[in-house]
Amino acid sequence: MTNKQSSLLPVAVTACAFLFLLFRYGPFFQNGSPDYILHFTLVDEIMHWGKVPADAADRISVMAFYPPVAHWMAALIGWVSGSGLIGMSMVSIAAAFLSYLLALRITADTPIKLVLFLGAFLVLSKSLSLVGWEIVSNFFYPQLVGDAFYFFVLWSLTKTNRLAYRSAIFIVAGGVTMWLQPLSAIQIIGAGCILLALEGIRLWRDQRAFPSRYAVSALVAVIVAGVVFFVHPELKIMRQISTNNGALEFRYKHIMLVAAFCGAICTANAVRYVFRDGNMTDLVISAAGIAAYFLALTQFMAWTFLEDGSPYAIKKHMFIVVTVGMMNCVRLVGDVVDRSKGRGQMLAECATPLVAAYMASRVLCGFTEPLAPTIRALDYARQIATYQFPQITSDNTVASDVSLPLLSNALISRIAFNHPLNTEWWYGMKITDGVKYAMIRRTSSSDVACTKPHAITDKYAVVDTSCLISYMPNSSLNFSSTGNGRIYQGRGWSTPEPWGTWSLANLGGEIHLTLPNLAHEPLLLEVDGMAYITPRHDQQTIIVEINGTEVAKWNFNKQSPGGLRTASFSSDILKGDAMNIVFKAPGAVSPAQDGGPNDQRVLGFGLKALVVRSAS
């Protein structure tokens, strides 16, 4: 193989690895966090107007002031592909891959170090706090894109020895990244400042005299970086963002103790650079790690003593803290055990993009929801909102397509119908509660139940929400993720799964039916379901109430964990034609309480199917 061919081989492997990720995960999105919708509102605004207009806040609220560079990237791809949703997925994939590709290029220049990096990743990925996990449970989309910029800057810093070039890199990159993600920007500026300090100490040691000229130049660079940061127009937005609190959980509780441990590892590598045989890579990543720790500590002190910021903001630093701490650990251990003396470099260069693709796939494995149905439904909703249904206001119409996940329906409601997001939707409240109209997917049963649509296409109709819970006795309702029963569910249910839906026992799962023109006769409720039974939680009672009246108690145990259960009742307990069923599970536990997976949901009754029929 010629030198030219061997130099092109890593490039070809990198391109193939990236294309694999695009084809594997590009047609899907992460179905979990409402943050996804918020970021798409800004992408959609940019695609519609070609800018963020002065009156954007009237439509997208605080997202109008969010740093927009990552959203512009998605919008540019969206203009080409036809949807900003595709753009967000593709940018997320690219950012996850590039973050790990660059981190590996910086850290693992031999096969031994590559194996060490992979091993450390497999261990620390369980902490849920490595780079990329910003979009696993939550959807911190700009922060992931900022990670890729951050590692690109670190990689660039390892490639130059001149003070002027280094200073220009971190000052300019830090200023530009403020428009992308201010947290990444301050990490870049902090890393650059610590780098100059460590290099000055190394020069002092080598020259055995204080490097006055270097110190003055470095001080000027630090002052310029500080001015760029503190006068930047996005600084105010950064401080406002840091006050937001929310759900961000890691697999450890003592955040600052973990941060201090990572900072100590980075400090050990810095000491090795200054006083022993560390090289330029060690200088850059140790400086980055020390800066990341002190920034997390500063955020912690600001929250603890000044109540400035939030615990959420402290945790957001941990993705960089833990990842860069891991990189420094790999360097320290690798230089002890690695005796290859540069051998196998080509193998490492070719294997690196494959390892990076694997790591990115661990981040992207939650991209499982197909984009195409949501994109089509959004297009239909826009067509209806624009041409067929002028009665739409900001709070009277939602999307309620039972074939789509809640996130998609909420996104369509927000984008096409301008309905405000309601966090209660993710805690059991039906998206149609308190709303006059709903856009539903047409079926033969919906056409029978909702005979007077306000707008209609071949696939969808806008109807009164009151007709959606109309139920014909003897009709079977299926409560799986693709079933027809989801529209009848009220509060107290988890996300539907392929087999059915768990009730959240601390709330009690509600089913709301309307039975018009029902004769006064005994009725029978038939339910196919199961209780949450494990070796430790080996029995469970399910109490069934209809319109507040207890009609049955079903006992489940290891011998009979599920199956068909019935409850007879009189139609006299119905309130008019309304039938409200509640499944209660006293004493239920969560898998986490029961010693199983880290699942905090208190699982009560697993509902698969339901029928109401005449008992006679």
Instruction: Single out the residue in 367, 385, 416 at which a domain terminates.
Output: 367
Instruction: Single out the residue in 412, 442, 467 at which a domain terminates.
Output: 467
What is the number of residues in the chain?
616
Q: Once rounded to an integer, what is the mean pLDDT over residues 457-471?
A: 88
Characterize 352-384 residue by residue with b for buried, 16 or more Cβ atoms within 10 angstroms of its Cβ, and e for exposed: bbebbbebbbbbbebbebebeebbebbebbeeb
* Percent share of the chain, pLDDT over 70: 97
pLDDT of residue 346: 81
Q: Once rounded to an integer, what is the mean pLDDT over residues 186-193?
A: 94
- Residue 48 in any domain: the answer is no
Cα three-residue angle 304-307-311, rounded to 5 degrees: 65
Report in angstroms the alpha-carbon separations of 86 from 44, 73, 77.
12, 11, 7
- Cβ-based neighbours of 275, under 8 Å, separated by 6 or more: 205
Tell whether 216 and 353 lie within a shared domain: yes
Q: Once rounded to an integer, what is the mean pLDDT over residues 185-203?
A: 93
- Residue 36 in any domain: the answer is no
pLDDT of residue 6: 60
pLDDT of residue 372: 96
Tell whether 359 and 374 lie within a shared domain: no
- Residue 83 in any domain: the answer is no
- Residue 84 in any domain: the answer is no
Tell whether 543 and 442 lie within a shared domain: no
pLDDT of residue 475: 87
Task: For strands 460-464 and 437-441, give the pairing.
Answer: antiparallel
Tell whether 414 and 534 lie within a shared domain: no
pLDDT of residue 576: 77
Q: Once rounded to an integer, what is the mean pLDDT over residues 210-227?
A: 89
Tell whether 136 and 285 lie within a shared domain: yes
What tens digit of pLDDT does each residue of 435-455 get? 999 999 988 878 877 888 888
553 burial level (CB within 10 Å; 0-12, 13-18, 19+): exposed
Q: Once rounded to an integer, what is the mean pLDDT over residues 467-492?
A: 86
What tens digit of pLDDT does each residue of 133-168 get? 999 888 889 999 999 999 999 999 999 888 888 899
| CATH number for position 536 | 2.60.120.260
pLDDT of residue 564: 95
Distance CA 426, CA 436 (A): 20
Tell whether 170 and 308 lie within a shared domain: yes
- The answer to which of 346-355, 383-392, 558-567 has the lowest mean pLDDT is 383-392
Tell whether 501 and 461 lie within a shared domain: no
Tell whether 496 and 420 lie within a shared domain: no
What tens digit of pLDDT does each residue of 86-115 get? 999 999 999 999 999 999 999 988 899 999
Smallest Cα–Cα separation from 131: which of 24, 289, 279?
A: 289
Q: Which domain holds residue 196?
A: 95-367
Tell whether 250 and 387 lie within a shared domain: no
Q: How confident is the model at residue 429 (pLDDT cuts 50, 70, 90)?
A: confident
Tell whether 361 and 397 lie within a shared domain: no
What share of residues in the chain are helix, strand, coil (percent, to 5)?
Answer: 55, 15, 30
- Residue whose token pair is 């301050």: 186
Encoded amino acid at 105, one letter: R
Q: How confident is the model at residue 4 (pLDDT cuts 50, 70, 90)?
A: low
Q: How far is CA 222 from the centre of its chain?
A: 35
- Residue 559 in any domain: the answer is yes
Smallest Cα–Cα separation from 226: which of 294, 167, 153?
A: 167
pLDDT of residue 2: 52
Task: For strands 562-570 and 501-504, give the pairing.
Answer: unpaired
- Residue 82 in any domain: the answer is no
Distance CA 277, CA 483 (A): 64
Q: Once rounded to an integer, what is the mean pLDDT over residues 31-60?
A: 92
Q: How confident is the model at residue 209 (pLDDT cuts 50, 70, 90)?
A: confident
Q: How far is CA 488 from the centre of its chain?
A: 28
Number of alpha helices (DSSP H) and beta strands (DSSP E) in the chain: 18, 15
> Could you tell me which residue, 296 or 615, shows the higher pLDDT?
296
Tell me the range of 213-222, 237-246, 280-289, 460-469 where mean pLDDT is highest.
Answer: 280-289
- The number of domains in the chain is 3
Q: Once rounded to an integer, what is the mean pLDDT over residues 404-409?
A: 91
Distance CA 434, CA 282 (A): 59
What tens digit of pLDDT does each residue of 550-599 get? 999 999 999 999 999 999 998 888 877 889 999 999 999 988 887 777 77
Mean of the per-residue pLDDT values of the chain: 89
Tell whether 156 and 297 lie within a shared domain: yes
* Percent share of the chain, pLDDT over 90: 56
Instruction: Single out the residue in 467, 488, 514 at which a domain terminates.
Output: 467
**552 has which bridge partners?**
544
Q: Is 458 helix (H, G, I), strand (E, B) or coil?
A: coil
Q: How confident is the model at residue 275 (pLDDT cuts 50, 70, 90)?
A: confident
Q: How confident is the model at residue 469 (pLDDT cuts 50, 70, 90)?
A: confident
Q: How confident is the model at residue 484 (pLDDT cuts 50, 70, 90)?
A: confident
Asked if residue 616 has pLDDT above 80, the reply is no
- Cβ-based neighbours of 450, under 8 Å, separated by 6 or more: 440, 461, 463, 464, 467, 468, 470
- Residue 6 in any domain: the answer is no
Asked if residue 341 has pLDDT above 70, the reply is no
Q: What is the pTM of this model?
A: 0.86
Asked if residue 240 has pLDDT above 80, the reply is no
DSSP single-letter state for residue 486: G
For the chain, the C-alpha Rg in angstroms (whole number) is 29
- Residue 49 in any domain: the answer is no
Q: Are 478 and 404 in contact (CB under 8 A)?
A: no
Q: Once rounded to an integer, what is the mean pLDDT over residues 383-402?
A: 86
pLDDT of residue 342: 64
Task: For strands 539-546 and 367-370, give the pairing.
Answer: unpaired
Tell whether 351 and 375 lie within a shared domain: no
